[in-house]
Amino acid sequence: MKKVLVTGGAGFIGSHTSVELYNAGYLPVLLDNFANSDKRVLKGIEAITGHTPICHEGDCTDYTFVDRIFREEGPFEGVIHFAAYKAVNESVHHPLKYYHNNLQSTEVLLTAMKKHGCSRLVFSSSCTVYGQPASLPVTEETPFQRANSPYGFTKQVCERMISDVASASVTGLQAVLLRYFNPIGAHPSGHIGELPLGKPENLVPYITQTAAGLRDEVVIFGNDYDTPDGTCVRDYIHVVDLAEAHVAALRYLEHPSRNCEALNLGTGEGNSVSEVVKSFIEETGAHLPYRFGERRPGDVEQIWASAAKAADLLKWHTKRDLREALRDAWNWQQKIS
Ligand code: WQD
């Protein structure tokens, strides 16, 4: 089996992608420092795939550690780089934590890949690189605005770092920059899902924890935006759809002519926070106390994707809708509560 290095492989998207890598006949080698993930995930991956994941605990900002993994576990067919902090709100209050972790891990990885002759990189980027887009839906040609948060800015910088290295022909790097919109849901088996440590930053895990009685109520951050119902609009994509896109991206890089492409990964539809809350209640019948509160710093008012380029280049499209993702998220929450 062809080995693929998966940094942040025990995380929410990394674990779901590791499952899809096994399903596609690859052998994922996971790196994770478990700063924002839990070792229970490894058992979940095994329960789904029958494989005991290869996982090395360590920090991707540590060149000595990453270099050793390339030496001991390589050669790798490619690398999927998830390891990063990703909470928009948290990054506003702790920017240096984000600049150090997200930028240094990418620089370390690119250096190690060059040294060990590994040329294919799938990078976990984000729709936050666009800031508040001037027009919607967002295409890959939509110009970057000033990122609304340090998190979004780290993704803009990492994309530029990677595209510059791919352009410097000496490295031979080929890369796909996957700009996720809002990943939600869980594997339908209920063996893996989102495991935020402590109080969730993101909407859907906060909803499921509230419905499970772990939180008192959902606060909807602002209902005075210039949107149809006054609450923010996002493009919520099922995490398994997202995981499948990573395998398709790896396959795409097998063609030597490919250099560096940015691709939006979204459903192409926008849903407001209120719509997500109401859809969750309708789909699950769960009791979900909620109220409207103040806006949250760093929030973009509305954003959703055009995913036409990913459909064209990767022959990939989403198969699961918002309600299925909410059902799978609730199924997962009930198993871990
Ligand atoms: C969504 C909406 C909140 C919590 C995420 C990821 C980021 C990136 C983009 C991948 C916002 C509102 C939230 C709550 C609320 N994805 N909300 N009450 O900020 O869009 O960013 O997607 O890279 O990594 O974090 O997602 O789920 O935090 O917020 O009203 O308790 O829900 O204001 O409008 P966000 P989110």
Least confident of 71-75, 79-83, 296-300: 296-300
Least confident of 60-74, 158-172, 306-320, 321-335: 158-172
Q: Residue 170 above 80 pLDDT?
A: no
Give the Cα separation of 85 and 10 in Å (integer). 13
pLDDT tens digits along 11-35: 999 999 999 999 999 999 999 999 8
273 CB within 6 A, ligand 1 = yes
Degrees (nearest 5) of the Cα angle 132, 135, 141? 90
- Residue with the smallest CA separation from ligand 1 atom 31 is 203
- The predicted model gives 280-303 an average pLDDT of 94
- Residue with the smallest CA separation from ligand 1 atom 23 is 126
> Ligand 1: distance of its center to the CA of 273 in Å?
9
Tell me the pTM: 0.96
pLDDT tens digits along 94-124: 999 999 999 999 999 999 999 999 999 999 9
Region of 213 on the Ramachandran plot (φ > 0 left; ψ -120 to 50 alpha; else beta): left
4 CB within 6 A, ligand 1 = no
Query: How far apart, in Å, are the Cα atoms of 138 and each of 77, 134, 194, 334?
Result: 31, 9, 26, 35
Q: What is the per-residue pLDDT for 88?
A: 81
104 DSSP 8-state letter: H
Which positions ≥6 away from 228 have C-beta within 8 Å? 272
For residue 105, what are its two tokens?
């891990």
The sign of the dihedral angle between the CA atoms of 262, 267, 271, 277 is negative
Torsion of CA 287, 199, 327, 299, to 10 degrees: 100
223 CB within 6 A, ligand 1 = no
- Residue with the smallest CA separation from ligand 1 atom 24 is 86
CATH T-level fold of 2-185+237-266: Rossmann fold (3.40.50)
For residue 305, what are its two tokens?
């994707």
pLDDT band at 169 (very low <50, low <70, confident <90, very high): low
> Ligand 1: distance of its center to the CA of 204 in Å?
8
> Ligand 1: distance of its center to the CA of 50 in Å?
33
252 CB within 6 A, ligand 1 = no
Please check whether residue 70 is in contact with residue 115, taking contact to mean a CB–CB distance below 8 angstroms: yes
Q: Which atom of ligand 1 is nearest to the CA of 295?
A: 33
234 CB within 6 A, ligand 1 = yes
